[in-house]
Amino acid sequence: MSADYGQLKDIVGAATSLMAAASAIGVTWLRRAKWMPPEESVPGGTLRVAGLVSAVAIGILFLERQKIGLETMLLIGALAGLFTIMSLTISIYTNTRYSFVYPESSKRGAPLKRTLGGHKLTAEAQHISEERRMEPQALFVNAAYDKNLVWTQSSQALVQTASVLGFIALQASGSIALSAIAIGLSI
């Protein structure tokens, strides 16, 4: 059964095509890796935002391709590629430096999952760390995997935000870089 969008059918069709293109381009170059945010840290909306940013940029680049021209389109692709490298660097640092592991269940030998902690220990965790010379992962284990006992809420929020924004920037800029070069080739 096809939906009747009336006068908006062309807009709906174009929007659907742009989102499909952005998703397809993003999927081709980005696969899940250990340096990426833990799955719990990347809500479904994050991928949608990256897809939306990519789709809007792809649409603008495609519609303005003749005005932009080949040289500028290639420059846009190169700059987006550099931004992708910067975003990748931020993502790798944030998602490895602040990742901590915990067992998936209380069963012995359960698989480990990753979570993001914070950048600042709570006063109590700092005291225990100094007194017993414990690293953050050991503090996390001793706190029965309760992040709020180890890191301040604001430091957890900052790390989470950096992780999500870095991931969005990485996905969107990589897709835009690929699209700009592909569109440039079609000029």
Q: Distances in Å between the alpha carbon of 70 and those of 63, 74, 79, 88, 92?
A: 14, 6, 14, 27, 33
Band of pLDDT at residue 41, cut at 50, 70 and 90: confident
- Kindly report, residue by residue over 78-98, the tens digit of the pLDDT: 999 999 999 999 999 999 999
The confidence score (pLDDT) of residue 40 equals 77
> Which position has the higher pLDDT, 174 or 35?
174
Q: What kind and span of H or E run contains 101?
A: strand 99-103
Domain boundaries of the chain, sorted by first residue = 7-99+114-185
Lowest mean pLDDT across 39-48, 105-114, 130-139, 174-183: 39-48
